[in-house]
Amino acid sequence: MVHTLAYQRKTSGESLGALKRLTILGMLAVLLGGMLLWGMRRSPAVQADVLQAGLATPRVHLTPLPKTAEPAPIQAAAPAENPVSAPSNQAVQAAAPQSAPELAQVLPRPQLDPANEYIYRFMQSYRPLEQGGGCAAIWEVVPDYVQLPNWLTTPGSASQIYSKVSLYFLAAMLIRNNAVDASECPNNGISLENPWVATTCGLNKAYGAVIAWQNRFNQVILDIAQETGVPAQLMKNIFSRESQFWPGIFTTLEEAGFGQLTVGGADVLLMWNKNFYDQFCPTVLVPEACKKGYTNLSVNEQQMLTGALVRMVNATCPTCPEGVDPAQAEFSVRVFAENLIANCNQVGQTIQNEVGRPPNRTSSYQDLWLFTLVNYHAGSGCLRDAIRNAAAKNYDLSWDLVAASLPDYCASAKLYVEEVIYMPEVAPNPTPPPNEPTPTATPAP
């Protein structure tokens, strides 16, 4: 009996010990489970993407370009306490403001101009084509995106079209519109020979603002490129070559905006981009007149439309800070993209008219864009004559053959194209198109 009671106590003690151990293990499991659930509630750390190197200077070009001559340095009458040296590659990155507050100082919010009411209405109501296939769809070409030269690319990030180009015309415009103080420079940093160009001293004073300004519209360019199919790098290169990113006028009202739109260029856009014409025309003319189509309008009506369109891309605003309406400037990027699409349409029809074959049976995607730049700069008459001359010598149309066949009156278009696809570190100052007017209408056969 005694042995039986002792055995029962021993067994009972062991059971209690096991129960305690199980209880402790259960509590540990609950604790660990709670910690795991709490950890799952926390947001995981996000690794920021490393910025890619800027691609603003294309590596592919047809012929080397001579270096653009810079204005001769001007010695100041009295040396400043902190003398300014010519901008170097090392100084560029340090001088360029890139943060949002710094950019806001360069280009503040606009004050809407009541005289541009029709422009603001059109900006808010415009609807692009849904497919957005761009010129590849017009020409029915499937580009080899792996082999495309840099100037025909649309990168995934706005940082990849970041540029650091010495822009003497842009520096002068920033100085003249009081965005930069160059009072320490002789003649306030403006060249005595050319009042639209800054001196080296003026560029030094304006360099930070020049870098900020030329990259101010990168995201807008990228967004519109992805929407329309027009290459982002190509648009940026054109803007650099045409206006040095100043969205106002160049000396006269004959050329305006980022892409220096002329009345002839506006004529191409309205004639060859039906979607744009259908939406723009009723903001200027009565809808009944617009239904006739652009080519059936009277000369006076066409002039009213082209004049209003040139005014639309001219973002000059005397009542705005720095003399520019940023909202209008940003929308003008879309207008120029639509203008390039119109030029692509015209190039395709010109080839069809001259050789009797569609563009995808005569030329590569890259060559078709080079033809489009000729058409954009010198007009369809220039391109038509070059294609006609080239087609008499060869079955296919290559850029080398067409460029060699350009008529004398627009032979400068070849240099223009090369400067667009290969942008030097010091950009040429804006220049007007060839003096001789060329026809823009290219009727279908």
3-state secondary structure labels for all residues of 89-133? HHHHHHHCCCCHHHHHHHCCCCCCCHHHHHHHHHHHHCCCCCCCC
Q: List Cα–Cα distances, 142 to 136, 137, 138, 148, 149, in angstroms.
A: 6, 8, 11, 12, 15
| b/e sequence 174-202, b meaning 16+ C-beta within 10 Å | bbbbebbebebbbebbbbeeeebbbbbbb
Same domain, 180 and 228: no
Same domain, 296 and 176: no
Return d(Cα 155, Cα 235) in angstroms, integer: 13
Taking alpha carbons only, the member of 436, 68, 57, 421 closest to residue 264 is: 436
**What's the token pair of residue 357?**
């074959």
Q: What residue has token string 């004398």?
A: 408
Separation of first and last alpha carbons in the chain: 123
DSSP 32-95: HHHHHHHHHHSPPP-PPPPPPPP--S-S--SSPPPPPPPPPP---SS--SSPPPPP-HHHHHHH
Which of 214, 238, 253 marks a domain boundary? 214
| Alpha-carbon torsion, ordered 350, 352, 357, 363, to 10 deg | 30
pTM over 0.75: no
Within 10 angstroms of residue 146's Cβ, the number of other Cβ atoms is 5
Same domain, 429 and 306: yes
Same domain, 258 and 172: no
Q: What residue has token string 């070849």?
A: 414
Same domain, 321 and 184: no
Which of 214, 247, 275 marks a domain boundary? 214
For 444, residues 6+ apart whose C-beta sits below 8 A from its C-beta are: 349, 352, 353
Same domain, 131 and 236: yes
Could you tell me if residue 16 is inside a domain? no
Could you tell me if residue 101 is inside a domain? no
Residue 201, domain extent: 164-214
Could you tell me if residue 170 is inside a domain? yes
Per residue of the chain (445 residues), give pLDDT as tens: 444 444 444 445 555 565 556 666 666 665 555 554 444 443 333 232 332 333 333 323 333 333 333 334 433 333 344 433 334 433 333 333 333 334 434 444 445 556 667 777 888 878 877 666 789 999 999 998 888 999 999 999 999 999 999 999 999 999 999 999 999 999 999 999 998 899 999 999 999 999 999 999 999 999 999 999 999 999 999 999 999 999 987 655 578 889 989 899 999 999 999 999 999 999 999 999 999 999 999 999 999 999 999 988 888 888 887 788 888 899 999 999 999 999 999 999 999 999 999 999 999 999 999 999 999 999 999 999 999 999 998 889 999 999 999 999 999 999 999 999 986 555 555 654 444 434 444 444 4
Domains contained in the chain, number: 2
- Work out the angle between the directed axes of helices 299-313 and 326-355 (0-180°, nearest 10): 130
Q: What is the structure's pLDDT at 166?
A: 92
Return d(Cα 16, Cα 4) in angstroms, integer: 18
Question: Dihedral sign, CA of 164, 166, 169, 173?
Answer: positive
Q: What is the structure's pLDDT at 38?
A: 45
- Work out the angle between the directed axes of helices 413-421 and 365-378 (0-180°, nearest 10): 120
Taking alpha carbons only, the member of 422, 310, 323 closest to residue 370 is: 422
Same domain, 206 and 342: no
Name residue 60's amino acid. Answer: V
Return d(Cα 169, Cα 4) in angstroms, integer: 109
Q: What is the structure's pLDDT at 176?
A: 92
Could you tell me if residue 328 is inside a domain? yes
Q: What residue has token string 């290559």?
A: 398
Which of 214, 231, 251 marks a domain boundary? 214
Q: What is the structure's pLDDT at 24?
A: 67
